[in-house]
Amino acid sequence: MLELTAHCPWKCFMSSKSFFISLMLLVFPAICQAAPSAVRISIMGDASSDVGFAWSTYSGTAEAQIQYGTSSGSLTQSKKGIVSKVSSTLGSVSEVTLTGLLPDTTYYYKVGGTSGGWSNQYSFRTGPKPHKQCGKVNFVVFGDSRAESWQGDLGSSAMWGTLLSKAEKLKPAFILHGGDIVHDGGKQKQWYNHLVRTSGVSHKIPVMYAIGNHDDGPGEGDGANYNRIFNLPRASKALGGSGTEDYSYITAGPTIVVTLSTSSYKTGSPKYQDQADWLDKVLTANPKRWKFVVLHAPIYTEKGLFGHAPNEDGQNPAFVKVINKHHVDMVFQSHNHFYERWAASKCSNSASTTVCPTGSYDTGTVYITTGGGGAFPIFVPGLTNSKRIKVSGEHHYIHVEINNQTLKLTTLNNGGKTLDSVSWAKKVTAPDPCLVPPTPDAGMPDMTPPADMAVTADASTATPDLPSSDDASAPVGDTGATLLDTGAAPDKGAAKQDIGATTPPATEQEGCSCDVGRGPDAAGLWLLLALALVLRRRRR
């Protein structure tokens, strides 16, 4: 809404029929808030093609329409959505979802309608082309942006806005939030303030939320404020999900991110088993190279004097089994207002409240607590050790960069200082499908042997006949998920490559070999002798 009050009075002045009305609108700019406010976008499936939009309208006619295109000022396509009246505080929320967009493309858009008015023109960029293993993706992770109880209905802290603006400069494809967005999710004024504070970024970068224990209310599911103001993907009932936005997943290039709820839908035996079964089906259906889970209450963490304990709500037995089964790479958890990174873990006892180091990232999951998104910092308990690799009590955000089989994680404080930095790589146990062989240049000479030249594929030099990366049976990617071995060589014992040539008969082989390195014949010897005699006479 802040962005509207800056330009709305002038627009209203230009369109008003009388100077008196225009003057009133300049004095009371809130009357002009019929135009869309706090525009927010999200990923609704795959980042390359599915984008959701939501915005708020506080007075006048609320409409749900988007005009968009790939050229600035030429918004030739349009789509309509739905409008839901929420309250006088949160206004009417409009939602539109676009599918079938082009990957890795900048789109320009505006939302609203002819009756209620249009937003400014904004832009966003779709994600890379979907691929199971290859592609470049970068994203940012936050947690706990909420204000404190003594700050009234501020909702999100001022530090959240500061961190968000710094993270924007990294140009992430999307932003993940681990929950505790506001202090009291039942109070609509706090959500209003969060939307305003986030609006400078949310119209151009998707912000994807997990629900925290401070964010619920009133009620659960579609009736909660959290669900009513955001346009987020839903946990598909076809896979056993709740059908609500409380937990969901998105994909981007070689990456899948699954958001779970530790504040709602706790059904099943053990607790949260229904969500865990859904998680299992989602990861099975999306065999991406890089797998991430985001949830609020930590699976593993150090409690200390003022913090929260691991497995606080009994979520470990249900979730850890599935995380281990699919070798999820990282779990981002919040709730405690500090940063900690644990050694890669894989516990045979899923109810364990302490990590079980595997000694290798390739066989375990890295659990990271990130609760420094603006909430009042809590004293960091304990020190680093062989299990707890890194800790910090500063406000922070995490930047994750993925490039095919490599990942780099950098944690930064609000001043831009690096608090933690680490890189991992996955071993490629077959020809790397992400390395595209160069296309032959049309201007290069034809090096194809003549049809009459016989070629034999020698076992010591032939290229192995390996399966294509498109072959479903080919052992490509992170099978076994071990460290990348850049010196790996093809199997020397592989079968000879069939390059289309046949082995010539023995007589032809022998005749061919005589043409190479053979001594002079009889006629050549007589010629050399005659030449020698001539030279001898001349010397005399």
- Per-residue model confidence (pLDDT) at position 538: 43
Cβ neighbours of 75 (radius 10 Å): 18
For residue 461, pLDDT beyond 50: no
- pLDDT value at 516 more than 60: no
* Residue-range domain boundaries for the chain: 1-31, 33-127, 128-436+476-485
pLDDT at 256: 98
Report the pLDDT value the prediction gives residue 460, as an integer from 0 to 100.
35
Q: What is the mean pLDDT of residues 136-155?
A: 95
Query: What's the pLDDT score for residue 521?
Result: 47
- Tokens representing residue 339 in the block: 């940063």
Please tell me the number of Cα atoms within 13 Å of 2 on its side-chain side: 9
pLDDT band at 512 (very low <50, low <70, confident <90, very high): very low
Given a contact cutoff of 8 angstroms between Cβ atoms, the answer to whether 201 and 163 are in contact is no
Is the pLDDT at 51 greater than 60? The verdict is yes
The residue among 528 and 286 whose pLDDT is bigger is: 286
Determine what percent of the chain is predicted with pLDDT higher than 70. Answer: 74
Residue 142 has pLDDT above 70, yes or no: yes
Whether residue 254 has pLDDT greater than 80: yes
Query: pLDDT (tens digit, 9 = 90+) per residue, 466-499?
Result: 333 333 333 333 333 333 333 333 333 333 333 3
Instruction: Report how far residue 271's alpha carbon sits from residue 315's, in angstroms, rounded to the nearest whole number.
Output: 6
Average pLDDT in the 145-165 region? 94
* Mean pLDDT taken over the chain: 81
For residue 531, name the pLDDT band (cuts at 50, 70, 90): low
pLDDT at 352 over 60: yes
Residue among 276, 236, 228, 241 nearest 44 (CA): 236
Q: For residues 351 and 390, is the Cβ–Cβ distance under 8 A?
A: no
Task: Kindly state the DSSP code that residue 45 receives in the 8-state scheme.
Answer: S
Contacts for 526 with CB less than 8 Å, ≥ 6 apart: none
Confidence of residue 219 (pLDDT cuts 50, 70, 90): confident
Residue 439: pLDDT band with limits 50, 70, 90: low
Provide the pairing of β-strand 77-80 with 117-118: unpaired
Band of residue 133 on the pLDDT scale cut at 50, 70, 90: very high
Q: What's the CATH code, domain 33-127?
A: 2.60.40.10
Query: What is the pLDDT, as a whole number, of residue 378?
Result: 78
Q: What is the pLDDT of residues 292-338, one digit of tens each?
A: 999 999 999 998 778 999 999 999 999 999 999 999 999 999 999 99
Q: What pLDDT does 527 receive? A: 52
User: What percent of the chain shows pLDDT beyond 90?
Assistant: 68
Distance, CA of 341 to chain centre: 20
**Which CATH number applies to 128-436+476-485: 3.90.45.10, 3.10.20.30, 3.60.21.10, 3.30.1300.10?**
3.60.21.10
Q: Is 209 helix (H, G, I), strand (E, B) or coil?
A: strand
pLDDT digits (tens, 9 = 90+) for 359-416: 888 899 999 999 999 999 877 878 899 999 999 999 999 999 999 999 999 999 999 9
Return the structure tokens found at 56. 């708020």
